[in-house]
Structure 1
Amino acid sequence: MTVNKPVFSYIEFYEWTLQLVNNKQTSGDKQTESLVKFTELNASRMKRLNKTTKLIPELENLVTELKKKQVWYVITEAWCGDSAQNLPVIGEIASAGDKIDLRVILRDKNPELIEKYHTNGSKSIPKLVAFSEEGVELFTWGPRPEPAQELVMDWKENPNGRDFEDFERELHTWYAKDKTHTVQKEFLDILNSLKY
């Protein structure tokens, strides 16, 4: 798979996001005030999740017992709220053992790649694409846990008077109440199902 630079580890991406915040910038092709504010909010979300995320024992055990290496690419941008809620968990999963090589890449720097991994026809992020060491695609995940995806689809089909700001509050309230349990369960199920 051809990837355009930069390529980050999770910690490098987090630290780069903090630098963007300090410089009042964001990632990606668009530099708007609202995206800069989202980036600032996301840095706070990641910081909180870096401190509070604890893997469920079944997932941690499964990751530490993986026999073969996997390379996980997460396509994202610093302004993405779903990324801030999920990437710290993905980073924690990858760091639980020594068989997952996590690489964070930017959507706008990799247009050909995101074109291959649309969600319902859109370039939604974060999008994780996992490969074997030999380059065989193992699975994809994203852009968010299934119940959160259902909230998004429901809002798009029937806003019911909710503007984007109202919906964002609803979505991030769901994340806060869920406390990363659903995303961890989804990765547990995916990794358990791999014939690899």
Structure 2
Amino acid sequence: MNNTLIDRSLLKGLTYKEYRNKIKTLLQQGLSTGAEQSEDLLNYSLLNDKRMDRLDKTLKISEETYNSINNLSKKFTFLVIAEGWCGDAAQILPVLNKVAEVSANIDLKIVLRDENDELMNQFLTNGSKSIPKTIIIDEDKNVVNSWGPRPEIATKMVQDYKAKNGVIDAEFKKDLQIWYNKDKGNSTQEDLIKLLQAS
């Protein structure tokens, strides 16, 4: 992994608040993030913005997560590749933000996929530019792990559905969002703790 690329990406990285503000500003202009613009992507972005507003208010970090991240012996940065129209990103970024908020050991930076092609190409999922992708970087700017685009349980749901139906359709996407709502960010927290403890 090219450290210069990571350095450059971190410098470009937005804080969670900057990311949210950027999306809201674009939405006011009738735009979504990303190179492609369409009515669908705009509608997804509007829905995701509301979703993130709600999650920012309601999400809770578990006691186990709180203790685990505050007992880490090292500091880490989560560099997340995302876009405003991405449904998985809208569910996961608020969790990562809450984790970063309650721990001095975690910093969160966000970059947009379509503006960071070189970085995205280093972190493909089965050859595709799936997002969100969370790159875990240690204090020495080394990439120690990556995670995403979604929690392990949700990934299995996607794989099983694809195996049975060939494609991911609107029906499944709705089911996935229902799963996220019920899960309340717990699976994301559990996956991240495992990764951090192994790093």
Contact 2:10–2:109 (CA under 8 A) maintained in structure 1: no
1:115 corresponds to which of 111, 121, 130: 121
Q: Give the whole-Å Cα distance in 1 for the aligned partners of 2:83 and 2:125.
A: 16
Note the residue ranges of structure 2 that are not aligned, 5 or more in a row.
1-5
Amino acid at match of 2:147: W
> Shift in Å at residue 95 of structure 1?
1.4
1:17 corresponds to which of 20, 23, 31: 23
Q: Give the whole-Å Cα distance in 2 for the aligned partners of 1:180 and 1:26.
A: 25
TM-score, length-normalised on structure 1? 0.92
> Shift in Å at residue 6 of structure 1?
4.7
Q: Give the whole-Å Cα distance in 1 for the aligned partners of 2:45 and 2:110.
A: 16
Deviations, residues 101-156 of structure 1 (Å, cap 9, x unaligned): 21100111110111110111110000000111212111111000111111222232
User: How many residues are treated as equivalent by the alignment?
Assistant: 193
1:135 corresponds to which of 132, 136, 141: 141
> Shift in Å at residue 170 of structure 1?
1.0
Aligned equivalent of 2:3:
none
Coordinate RMSD, CA, aligned: 1.8
Deviations, residues 24-63 of structure 1 (Å, cap 9, x unaligned): 1100110010000000000011011101111011111222
Q: Give the whole-Å Cα distance in 2 for the aligned partners of 1:22 and 1:28.
A: 15
More helix by share: 2
> Shift in Å at residue 158 of structure 1?
2.3
1:149 corresponds to which of 155, 168, 188: 155
Q: Give the whole-Å Cα distance in 1 for the aligned partners of 2:10 and 2:70.
A: 30
Structure 1 runs, 4 residues or longer, greater than 6 Å off: none
TM-score, length-normalised on structure 2? 0.90
1:42 corresponds to which of 44, 48, 65: 48
